[in-house]
Structure 1
Amino acid sequence: MTDTAANQEQAEKQVKPDSPTFADLGARPETVAALAAVGITHSFAIQEYAIPIAMRGNDVIGQAPTGTGKTLGFGVPLLERVTARSEGADGTPQALVVVPTRELCLQVASDLTAGGATRGIRVLPIYGGVAYESQTDKLRAGVEIVVGTPGRLLDLARQKQLKLRQIQALVLDEADRMLDLGFLDDVEKILAMLPAERQTMLFSATMPDPIVALSRRFLRSPMTLHATHPGAAGAGAPQTRQVIYRTHSLNKVEMVARILQARERGLTIIFSRTKRGVDKVAGELDFRGFACAAVHGDLGQGARERALRAFRSGKVDVLVATDVAARGLDVTGVTHVINYDCPEDPDTYTHRIGRTGRAGATGIAVTFVDWEDMARWRLIDKSMGLATPEPPETYHTSEWLAQDLDIPSDATGILPSAQQSRAGLGAETEEDLGGSRTKERGRRRPTDRPAERSPRSPRQRRRRGGTRDAAAVGEPSTTSAPTSAPTAAVASAPEREEPTTSEGGAGRTRRRRRRGGRGAAGREGARPEQVTEATEQPAS
């Protein structure tokens, strides 16, 4: 069961009793059966509004808070539109979903695979950070739906590995995040490669002006849909209790260590603004005995997926991450979200705290605000209508901290050994996502290694400016009969050493440099004046 399916199943009790089932919305029996197999039967508001309209082929703009089931809002119409392999499909992609992050790519692909399991719909996630070969091999084998990030999709399309000529439906998921990450140009290039006759759907929690302008350019008479949480009343994530504290940067770790010991705490996500901050917080918590893992953009894809697998399976219960995990991370059992650093804007705040309280569940979001972040926080507070423009100054010794979050009075900054029961990140193996072919290209085989050379003897060394004397290289001198004047000059080279005195008074010999040894005359033999100079030099 996927995390999205588990969250939706957990929220079945909170769905309105009269909410329609997917069969009521017009989904084919195979899709209804596949969703029922993972515990999904009733729809949420965005699904109820979007599915009937999208199944008619209309372009759709869907705006709904995070955690309200947007994936199936466009996923069910996609599954209804594509033709399965058993129904005569030739393996060319028929639908494309563009997402901003790798984590969201894997999440959406998993949900679509679950919904199309009965019909055997093949869904392929395509993202960077892994070898091309595994993805291109699956494209050649045939897929019906492709879910990918803009950069890798564009690369494969330019290489003619990804064929877009038969795309019937396009979905832009979390389009506002693509704008934040600078993917908008890549998205426009991908859109220009698609057939003009297609259905386009755009889903997001927020709709900034550039995304609205994009929708006007590429969507045809779209239907705009707005949905909220079930029974929502208020801003943000209504199922999430939001607590804000003004804190000092040197006291944050102590406060986090106590919050992580709160009663009934489940999985927890801690958001930091920078990659260095993520590593620092994760290291501090690991030192204090908490089972934690880090996720940020500088980690390889294998390490990021390893951390998320350990978090989903419960081997670690604390995930420290940058905003790369604020979209698409749908994990069952996340009860607490901690904003270690104040978010940059209201949208970031909304998506961060939306990792808990999903699909009708409840959660707690704690936000730390430094003194220098107060101006930014007041803007967020005013925009969200939280009525907390001046958070209380709070430290780990403050009484209300324990009262607000149900922290035991004997909790300290270190997790007791008796409570350190998690297996930890080390229990999760990291997969090699580089591909065997890539490794073979980068590894030199033993037979390709050059033969080892023995060290050169002094006679084999390159000689500069003429012949070096035997005494200079530490060999026994040899005497040969002179055959010509140049040869005699070479033989008498030791006589050219002149005694010199250093500044300290110690004697040393200085060799006079022979000139013209590499010229034409030097190659034929020593010049006559050199011979005369050498023979007339007084012996030392």
Structure 2
Amino acid sequence: MRYDPPRSPGVRPRSPVPRLTEEASILTTTFRELGILPETAEALEAVGIMSPFPIQEMTLPVALSGSDVIGQAKTGTGKTLGFGLPLLESVVVPADVDAGRAAQDQLTDAPQALVVVPTRELCQQVTNDLLTAGKVRNVRVLAIYGGRAYEPQVEALKKGVDVVVGTPGRLLDLAGQRKLSLAHIRTLVLDEADEMLDLGFLPDVEKIIQQLPVKRQTMLFSATMPGQVISLARRYMSQPTHIRATAPDDEGATVANTAQYVFRAHSLDKVEMVSRILQADGRGLAMIFCRTKRTAADVADQLSRRGFAAGAVHGDLGQGAREQALRAFRNGKIDVLVCTDVAARGIDVEGVTHVVNYQTPEDEKTYLHRIGRTGRAGNTGTAVTLVDWDDIPRWQLINKALNLDFNDPPETYSTSSHLYEALGIPEGTKGILPRAERTRAGLAAEEVEDLGETGGRGRGRGRGASATATATDTATATATEERAPRTRTPRRRRRTRGGQTVEHPGAGTAPEPAGPAGGAEDSGTSADASGEARRPRRRRTRAGAGTASQTGRAEHSAHAEAPAAQAGEGASADGPGDASGEARRPRRRRRTRGGVGTRPAATETAPES
């Protein structure tokens, strides 16, 4: 192991940085021997954590003394507890007052320690690790990140917290609203600082640091140390000790416990290859990394159709769906997680044996973090990279930067014998998982937590939107049922107007007794009945307008026909019957003419009564 502060060319540090070089072997010490509190050691022993990793062993003595620390180690070597244990020791809680280690006036409900992380998934993981280590002392740890509702986080801050773990955006937001007080922060930790640089968070991080007290302890941990991260450390840290921890037998950039395989594959054959790789002997949990969100979603769907218990984590999913997939993966309900690089940083899931790079990573740092999801904490793992023909130049740059031996990957297909031999795939394995091996509960067995997600991205896309969509459909159906009576009410009013139009001829014929025009009366009545049956099908407005406009012509026709009827020309029922027939024919075409036919009948019978 070696302490070695980095120096960029042409830049002198503002404060002297101690340079220490020490070659040592990994000692079999325990956390109790390193001087942590008995309650913290008890909490770690309860979950089976007894001995520290190299980065933890070298960091704890320096950090517990209150000095600023820059910790650099490979991914998967235990950096979280390397800064988490000193951070928990610096927090004053009621248990310390009861044990006589602190005074009552040192207690406060404001946050005393702050951890800044780049991604939401890493924020959750660090929070869970700190809760585990601080369980006996009852340290209050709160995760603050975007994609969740503001109200629960604000309420938790009002009740009081000891440690805040958050992403830069939401931390700045709450601090700007004066919901988060940073005046009592004693310890600041910047985790995965190089990833925050890549994501463009360093300006936000600097704004957060400027709101903190000047007198504090600052710890910065990262797998790599770019020049901008070193400049940030020199501006805001006081004489930091740079700790670079490596095992004597692991000098390369990658972890020695991870076996790496690189194949040149065709894009149309990759899913077939992955389906066979997932059936290799000894395969536990597997993570498949893609460069784009669309590819991740498509690969997860195809693997699910082939019988694998697969889930997806990418930026187009709502926060609830992302957390659902990660919980199902940790709980073993699914054993294949297809994700973009959002899950390549700091995510620690026990039991991951295989990592597949479905698409070539952007650079060597992304490659290191991807394959770092397996082979963690001393376990062995397998990393497989599938390189398209178009991605060969990019891969050769990665290969050269990491000094690997895969400059010219062999051309490989899903039926290639060397693929089966290298990864231990049984002969005869097909691209569909046999039904007898489909033993996982699946993603649907994990419930989606209602997070009160903010913004359209969380509500409108992905599996997490299903509950919201159902509620929306229900509300729409209810509103439609409530509006139904209002749509029928105008129709009743229109029928009433149509009925009034029909009642005028009926009122004239009602007192008419049986007489010479009895046949005409019967025919007129049937015509009226048929007219009434047809009227609701037509537009009442035309009937009203037509009746009003034809009133004068109807009266004129009535006066012209009355003398002919009284003269007895065809006094039999045939004459009026013919007239009624003539009235019925126009009534089929226009309702207004029906009024013309009925009004003369009423007019000629009126004198007889």
Matched residue SS, 2:143: strand
2:367 aligned partner, one-letter code: Y
Matched residue SS, 2:547: coil
- Counterparts in 2 of 1:430-509, with a 5 A limit? 430-434=448-452, 453-454=486-487, 473-475=542-544, 476-478=546-548
Q: Is the 8 A contact 1:291 1:423 kept in 2?
A: yes
Q: Residue by residue, what CA displacement relative to the aligned partner does 1:12-65 show, whole Å, maximum 9, x if unpaired?
A: xxx977332112211111111111111111111111111111111111111100
Determine what percentage of the aligned residue pairs are the same residue. 57
The CA deviation at 1:85 is 3.4
Matched residue SS, 2:361: coil
Give the counterpart of 2:253 among 235, 240, 249.
235
Matched residue SS, 1:190: helix
- Counterparts in 2 of 1:311-326, with a 5 A limit? 311-326=329-344
Tell me how far apart the structure 2 counterparts of residues 276 and 409 of structure 1 sit (CA, whole Å).
32
Aligned to 1:20: 29
Tell me how far apart the structure 2 counterparts of residues 102 and 471 of structure 1 sit (CA, whole Å).
64
Tell me how far apart the structure 1 counterparts of residues 252 and 357 of structure 2 sit (CA, whole Å).
20
Matched residue SS, 2:268: helix
Tell me how far apart the structure 2 counterparts of residues 142 and 241 of structure 1 sit (CA, whole Å).
46
How many residues matched?
456
The CA deviation at 1:481 is 12
Tell me how far apart the structure 1 counterparts of residues 551 and 311 of structure 2 sit (CA, whole Å).
80
Tell me how far apart the structure 2 counterparts of residues 102 and 342 of structure 1 sit (CA, whole Å).
24
Give the counterpart of 1:84 among 93, 108, 117.
93
Give the counterpart of 2:285 among 267, 276, 289.
267
Tell me how far apart the structure 2 counterparts of residues 78 and 392 of structure 1 sit (CA, whole Å).
48
1:134 aligned partner, one-letter code: P
Aligned to 1:277: 295
- Counterparts in 2 of 1:22-41, with a 5 A limit? 22-41=31-50
Aligned to 1:357: 375
Tell me how far apart the structure 2 counterparts of residues 471 and 334 of structure 1 sit (CA, whole Å).
74
Matched residue SS, 2:377: helix
Aligned to 1:147: 165
* Aligned: 1:163 with 2:233: no
Unaligned ranges ≥5, structure 2: 1-23, 98-103, 460-466, 495-538, 553-609
2:547 aligned partner, one-letter code: S
Matched residue SS, 1:359: coil
TM-aligned CA distance change 1:459 to 1:37, over 3 Å:
closer
Q: Residue by residue, what CA displacement relative to the aligned partner does 1:328-372 show, whole Å, maximum 9, x if unpaired?
A: 210110000000000100100000000000011100000011111
The CA deviation at 1:210 is 1.6
The CA deviation at 1:211 is 1.2
Q: Residue by residue, what CA displacement relative to the aligned partner does 1:367-417 show, whole Å, maximum 9, x if unpaired?
A: 011111111111111111112110111111111100000000010011111
Find the structure with the greater CA-based Rg.
Answer: 2
Tell me how far apart the structure 2 counterparts of residues 47 and 471 of structure 1 sit (CA, whole Å).
88
Matched residue SS, 2:48: coil
Matched residue SS, 1:225: strand
- With 301-310 and 262-271 compared, the bigger mean Cα shift is at 301-310
Aligned to 2:53: 44
Aligned to 1:190: 208
Tell me how far apart the structure 1 counterparts of residues 294 and 250 of structure 2 sit (CA, whole Å).
37
TM-aligned CA distance change 1:450 to 1:186, over 3 Å:
farther
- With 92-101 and 203-212 compared, the bigger mean Cα shift is at 203-212
Tell me how far apart the structure 1 counterparts of residues 255 and 148 of structure 2 sit (CA, whole Å).
34
Tell me how far apart the structure 1 counterparts of residues 193 and 252 of structure 2 sit (CA, whole Å).
24
Q: Is the 8 A contact 2:26 2:54 kept in 1?
A: no
TM (normalized to structure 1)? 0.80
Aligned to 2:346: 328
The CA deviation at 1:229 is 4.7
- With 268-277 and 301-310 compared, the bigger mean Cα shift is at 301-310
Q: Residue by residue, what CA displacement relative to the aligned partner does 1:54-99 show, whole Å, maximum 9, x if unpaired?
A: 1111111111001100001001100111101343422110000000
- With 229-238 and 56-65 compared, the bigger mean Cα shift is at 229-238
1:81 aligned partner, one-letter code: S
TM-aligned CA distance change 1:61 to 1:127, over 3 Å:
same
Tell me how far apart the structure 2 counterparts of residues 292 and 481 of structure 1 sit (CA, whole Å).
78
TM-aligned CA distance change 1:381 to 1:471, over 3 Å:
closer
Tell me how far apart the structure 2 counterparts of residues 119 and 125 of structure 1 sit (CA, whole Å).
18
Aligned to 1:173: 191
Tell me how far apart the structure 2 counterparts of residues 229 and 331 of structure 1 sit (CA, whole Å).
22
Choose between structure 1 and 2: higher helix proportion.
2
Matched residue SS, 2:42: helix
2:374 aligned partner, one-letter code: T
* Aligned: 1:415 with 2:485: no
The CA deviation at 1:477 is 2.9
Tell me how far apart the structure 1 counterparts of residues 34 and 360 of structure 2 sit (CA, whole Å).
41
Q: Is the 8 A contact 1:46 1:226 kept in 2?
A: yes
Unaligned ranges ≥5, structure 1: 1-14, 461-469, 483-540
Matched residue SS, 1:389: coil
* Aligned: 1:395 with 2:413: yes
Q: Is the 8 A contact 2:79 2:221 kept in 1?
A: yes
Tell me how far apart the structure 2 counterparts of residues 230 and 302 of structure 1 sit (CA, whole Å).
43
TM-aligned CA distance change 1:197 to 1:420, over 3 Å:
same
Q: Is the 8 A contact 1:66 1:351 kept in 2?
A: yes
Aligned to 1:71: 80
Q: Is the 8 A contact 2:59 2:71 kept in 1?
A: yes
Tell me how far apart the structure 2 counterparts of residues 284 and 199 of structure 1 sit (CA, whole Å).
49
Give the counterpart of 2:401 among 378, 383, 400.
383
1:354 aligned partner, one-letter code: G
Q: Residue by residue, what CA displacement relative to the aligned partner does 1:122-149 show, whole Å, maximum 9, x if unpaired?
A: 1111111111111111111111000001
TM-aligned CA distance change 1:197 to 1:239, over 3 Å:
same
The CA deviation at 1:450 is 9.3
The CA deviation at 1:424 is 0.7
Matched residue SS, 2:32: coil
- With 383-392 and 92-101 compared, the bigger mean Cα shift is at 383-392
TM-aligned CA distance change 1:377 to 1:479, over 3 Å:
closer
Q: Is the 8 A contact 1:168 1:199 kept in 2?
A: yes
TM-aligned CA distance change 1:230 to 1:282, over 3 Å:
farther
Matched residue SS, 1:203: strand
Matched residue SS, 2:250: coil
- Counterparts in 2 of 1:110-129, with a 5 A limit? 110-129=128-147
2:81 aligned partner, one-letter code: L
Give the counterpart of 2:71 among 41, 62, 77.
62
Aligned to 2:574: none
